[in-house]
Amino acid sequence: MSSRLHLYQAGYAAVAKFIASDAELSICRRFDRSTARILLYLQSEIQYNQNLLDAIDENDAESGESAASSWELENEPIKPIDPKRKEIMMCMRALMKEYYELLTLQSQVLQLRPPAKRILKVFDKWLSHKKPLVGVGKEVFQDTMDMVALGPAQGGDPFSGFLRNHLSCVFKVRGPKVQREWEEIYYFSDLWVAKAATVISITTSLSMAAITSLYYVNQPGARLVMIAGYIFVFAVCVTLLSTAQRAEVFAATAAFAAVLVVFVSGNLANPRQH
């Protein structure tokens, strides 16, 4: 019985376990509408107190009261000259602190990226299949336009996104136990996607440059030097611009070298050299 409970837990426990299975599944609501409303209320409350202060200041100006220019008179501990002003100021200090804290936090939240459509689709399918939540708990995830990603995928470039959305099965890895509850979900290594995107980009750029330059060089010695230079530059770029290990750098460099060798030894070279 305990092992069965370990495989599946109902309700919030199931959703929490699913979210914790991968960083990209850590998505939450921003509650933009509620935050905007709270800020509006705070602004109105601050403005109301500001109007009260302005009215007191105007009365002081008309009556010639000196309390407005003396902090000691306003804050007399036994019998302050104008307790109303002090009460309003103390209230505004608390309001302004709450207001600015919320402004700062909302600004930070708005900088968070929205979840990828792929993640929203996976989340929706899992919730529809398992139905772990009812009531307001279920409603939280229905407004997909109000969601933020706490652990977005590495590399936000379009090419990395293409690999994740269309070729993620190539980078499939063994998922946690929660994945076994529904076999339609699989996990892939985001690190491998980032590595592949970097290596492919470097390979494509250097291959085009190398093939174009080698096409117009006829001397075998010059070609040999150019090939060695391009291979060296490729290995350095892969090492510095990616997190590839030594064996991975060696394999990618060997593949790149093979492309250049095939080009030079084949019939694709400049026909003027024959």
Q: Is the pLDDT of residue 33 over 70?
A: yes
The pLDDT score that the predictor gives to residue 67 is: 55
Is the separation of the CB atoms in 243 and 194 below 8 Å?
yes
Burial letters 176-199, b for 16+ CB under 10 A, else e: eebbeeeeebebbebebbbbbbbb
The pLDDT score that the predictor gives to residue 139 is: 87
Is the separation of the CB atoms in 226 and 210 below 8 Å?
yes
Question: How many angstroms separate the CA atoms of 231 and 264, rounded?
Answer: 14
Look up tokens 């136990």; give the residue.
177
DSSP H helices, 64-140, are 71-74, 83-110, 117-130, 136-139
Q: Is the pLDDT of residue 266 over 50?
A: yes
Looking at per-residue pLDDT, the higher value among 243 and 54 belongs to 54
Find the mean pLDDT for residues 9-19.
82
- Express each pLDDT in 177-200 by its tens digit: 545 555 566 666 666 667 777 767
Sequence-separated (6 or more) residues with CB below 8 Å from residue 66: 73
Q: Is the pLDDT of residue 273 over 80?
A: no
The pLDDT score that the predictor gives to residue 241 is: 63
Q: Is the pLDDT of residue 155 over 60?
A: no
Name the β-bridge partners of 173: 187
Sequence-separated (6 or more) residues with CB below 8 Å from residue 94: none
CA dihedral 248, 252, 254, 259 (to 10 degrees): 170
* Continuous segment of H or E residues that includes residue 24: none
- Burial status of residue 108 (CB atoms within 10 A of its CB: 0-12, 13-18, 19 or more): exposed
Looking at per-residue pLDDT, the higher value among 89 and 6 belongs to 89
